[in-house]
Amino acid sequence: MYTIGALMCVNMNQDAAYHRLAYKIFAEFTGTIAVPAVLATLLGKWLDEKNSTEPRYIILLLIIAFISSAVVLTKKAKKYRDEYELIIKKDIDITL
Give the model confidence (pLDDT) of 30-63 as tens digits. Answer: 999 999 999 999 999 999 999 999 999 999 999 9
What are the b/e assignments for 39-57, b being 16+ CB within 10 Å?
A: ebeeebeebbeeeeeeeeb
Residues near 35 by beta carbon (within 8 Å), at least 6 away in sequence: none
pLDDT over 70, % of the chain: 84
Instruction: Give the pLDDT confidence score for residue 14 in this predicted structure.
Output: 72
Instruction: Give the pLDDT confidence score for residue 1 in this predicted structure.
Output: 47
44 with 61: CB under 8 angstroms? yes
> Above 90 in pLDDT, residue 6?
no
